[in-house]
Copies of this chain bind each other. A is one copy, B any other.
Amino acid sequence: MTTIAQTSIEADPKVPVIRLSRDFEATPEQLFRAHTDPVLFARWVGPDAMTTRIEHWDATSGGSWRYVSVRDGTEYGFHGCFHEVRPDRIVQTFTYDGDPDGVSLATMWFEDLGGGRTRLRSQSLVDSFEARDSWLRSGMEVGVDQGYAKLERMIHDGTV
């Protein structure tokens, strides 16, 4: 397990899964909103050096999504469908345009810790350890951690 700033990142030894966990000073409802409202989501997702443009967003069970992140004029597209969107859990698929045959199944849980705190847990499942480990080697944890730090600032300043 690696802990980068506030986010713990774990590669399961038995199944090709990456797990993340981070506690927020926010209610489950606030974290749910931050993950389903496209305007809010675009403001925090990804590393600091990227800006994100939502191209399609229907955060409901059976809906789908697509966004493009831009760094120094280079565009990186991502898309998937929402299998289930409910207050305590979001399940969605995820593909990066640069690897169009690669698909991961991502699950996110919002666990109420009481006292206005919530643990965000997430899991990404792929079909091989090679694919999982190449994700880990891509430096994804930096973008994840910077994204969550932005989300934290939005919670603190009352935007979410």
Query: Known interface pairs A93-B91, A103-B105, A105-B93. Does A127 touch B15 (Cβ–Cβ under 8 Å)?
Result: yes
Instruction: Report yes or no: B81 in contact with A64, Cβ–Cβ below 8 A.
Output: yes
Is A125 positioned at the interface, with any CB of B under 8 Å from its CB? Answer: yes
Instruction: Report yes or no: B103 in contact with A91, Cβ–Cβ below 8 A.
Output: yes
A61–B66 CA distance with the chains assembled, in angstroms:
11
Number of A residues, CB within 8 Å of B: 29
Instruction: Report yes or no: B95 in contact with A103, Cβ–Cβ below 8 A.
Output: no
Is A51 positioned at the interface, with any CB of B under 8 Å from its CB? Answer: no
A1–B47 CA distance with the chains assembled, in angstroms:
44
Q: Is the interface of A mostly helix, strand, loop or mixed?
A: strand
A16–B82 CA distance with the chains assembled, in angstroms:
22
Chain A 47-59 interface mask (CB, 8 Å, partner B; 1/0): 0000000001000
- Residue of B81, B91, B101, B129 touching A15 (CB-CB under 8 A): B129
Is A107 positioned at the interface, with any CB of B under 8 Å from its CB? Answer: yes
Instruction: Report yes or no: A105 in contact with B81, Cβ–Cβ below 8 A.
Output: no
Q: With A15-B129, A62-B64 given, can you name 6 additional A-B contacts, CB distance below 8 Å?
A: A15-B16, A15-B127, A15-B128, A17-B127, A83-B103, A103-B105
